[in-house]
Amino acid sequence: MRIAAFVTALFLLIPSVSPCATPATSPEIDPRASLGVVQAWIYNYRAKPDYAHVPAAVRVLFHAQTFKEPENAGIYLGFIAGAIGSNPARAEQLVNSFFPIPPEDQWVIVRAIAYSGLADWRNLLRRIEPRMPGRKVMIDSYLAGTLPTLNDIPLEEAKPGMLDKLRGAFTHNPFEKEEKKLDTKVTFANSQDLLDTLWGYYFATGSHVPIQRIISMLPWSKSRDTVDKLTVGSMARYTLASYAVRDQGLREYLRGQLAQASAPVKAPLTEVVEAADTVQLAAVRKDALAAVEELKTKGSDSRRNLDFWGQVGVGAVALGCVSAAALGQVEVGIPCVIGGSASQGLLSFWEKQQ
């Protein structure tokens, strides 16, 4: 899901379920059913698991081509992964029941097994591999650990510290032409579809583990570092409130987390609980959209801070500090003060690292 589609995401991420639908109702699935019927069934599944009809529901998902655009298929992928992981004794039987699967969609099964949380997921993937010869590269990547499982995906990529930036600045040849490489590292901060995947896993299992992961993203709803993080954080806040309106158990769980929440989490989590209790979702959505627009217009907090320090001639590192930092001998917490072109030069370098 692209950032440009953020407005659409806020309206369409929640499955079309009637407010009158009761979680205790989990209708049987006809393989010829519409996608809307399956969406409602998935949403209600955790209250009354209907394991026997998972294969029929999955066949509807494949028939409806919901996996044609992987970035928009997170909820369904997460649901399949959760269904596989919820019953280890019958996991292989369930996976085999999904076949035949169009070759272009077989990646879903590979990833769902890897995301399932099964203790024995690698051996299950090896046993299923002969049925998906076209996905050998992907399978081998998961088995080798070069592709992460859902539990291993970090919230965000660790940012280089000041020392790392300085080392890079003074070891990099400015005349050397750099070859831009595609960044394929996956994090929750740069892959908004993973938020959907966590929700799908929750729908299949009722587990609070994915909910805990979503809660940990809430501080990003107050962040002004990047549009990506603000978008994911805002979506996490909005979807928690939206689903909690309809899910009393989830609402009570979130309320129980308030007492032990850290300061960065507590403020947005309080907003989630209040919005869910009072059904004030419009305010959450409006605030999220305004925050994203402000960040796109004014830039990040770090960018604004650099502008400020640049105006007063502070924010660069003096020669002595540079030498020590480049050798890893000191940790520079506050930049030394120098003036003139050197200051602006390092400001320019620092800005490019944001």
Q: Is the separation of the CB atoms in 195 and 217 below 8 Å?
A: yes
The top-scoring range by mean pLDDT among 131-135, 192-196, 284-288 is 131-135
pLDDT band with cut points at 50, 70 and 90 for residue 162? low
Question: Is a pLDDT exceeding 60 seen at residue 282?
Answer: yes
Q: What is the pLDDT of residues 91-112, one digit of tens each?
A: 999 999 999 999 999 999 999 9
Question: What local confidence, expressed as pLDDT, does residue 190 receive?
Answer: 86
pLDDT over 90 for what percent of the chain? 51
pLDDT band with cut points at 50, 70 and 90 for residue 295? confident
Question: What is the average pLDDT across 215-225?
Answer: 89
Exposed/middle/buried for residue 162 (C-beta within 10 Å: 0-12, 13-18, 19+): middle
Question: Is a pLDDT exceeding 70 seen at residue 58?
Answer: yes
The top-scoring range by mean pLDDT among 70-74, 86-90, 184-188 is 86-90
Report which residue type is found at 66: T
Q: What is the pLDDT of residues 199-215, one digit of tens each?
A: 999 999 999 999 999 99
pLDDT band with cut points at 50, 70 and 90 for residue 142? very high
Question: What local confidence, expressed as pLDDT, does residue 176 receive?
Answer: 60
Residues 99 and 108: their CA atoms lie apart, in Å, by 12
Torsion of CA 293, 286, 242, 190, to 10 degrees: 10
Question: Is a pLDDT exceeding 90 seen at residue 71?
Answer: no
Question: What local confidence, expressed as pLDDT, does residue 157 receive?
Answer: 76
Question: What is the average pLDDT across 338-352?
Answer: 33
Question: What local confidence, expressed as pLDDT, does residue 199 receive?
Answer: 95
Residues 190 and 108: their CA atoms lie apart, in Å, by 20
Question: What local confidence, expressed as pLDDT, does residue 177 receive?
Answer: 57
Q: 230 or 127, which is more confident?
A: 127
pLDDT over 70 for what percent of the chain? 67
Question: What local confidence, expressed as pLDDT, does residue 13 receive?
Answer: 36
pLDDT band with cut points at 50, 70 and 90 for residue 354? very low
CB atoms within 10 A of CB 190: 15
Question: What local confidence, expressed as pLDDT, does residue 37 receive?
Answer: 87
Distance of CA 216 to the CA centre of its chain: 11
Q: 154 or 5, which is more confident?
A: 154
Question: What is the average pLDDT across 27-54?
Answer: 83
Q: 341 or 300, which is more confident?
A: 300
Question: What local confidence, expressed as pLDDT, does residue 293 receive?
Answer: 78
Q: 317 or 186, which is more confident?
A: 186
Question: What local confidence, expressed as pLDDT, does residue 46 receive?
Answer: 92
Q: What is the pLDDT of residues 230-258, one digit of tens each?
A: 888 988 999 999 999 989 999 999 999 99
pLDDT band with cut points at 50, 70 and 90 for residue 349? very low
- HEC string of the chain equals CCHHHHHHHHHHCCCCCCCCCCCCCCCCCCCCCCHHHHHHHHHHHCCCCCHHHHHHHHHHHHHCCCCCCHHHCHHHHHHHHHHHHHCHHHHHHHHHHCCCCCHHHHHHHHHHHHHCCCCCHHHHHHHHHHHCHHHHHHHHHHHHCCCCCHHHCCCCCCCCCHHHHHHHHHHCCCCCCCCCCCCCCCCCCCCCHHHHHHHHHHHHHCCCHHHHHHHCCHHHHHCCCCHHHHHHHHHHHHHHHHHHHHCHHHHHHHHHHHHHCCHHHHHHHHHHHHHHHHCCHHHHHHHHHHHHHHHHHHCCHHHHHHHHHHHHCCCCCCHHHHHHHHCCCCCCCCCCCCCCHHHHHHHHHHHHCC
Q: What is the pLDDT of residues 1-24, one digit of tens each?
A: 433 343 333 333 333 333 333 333
Report which residue type is found at 14: I
Question: What local confidence, expressed as pLDDT, does residue 285 receive?
Answer: 84
Question: What local confidence, expressed as pLDDT, does residue 86 receive?
Answer: 96
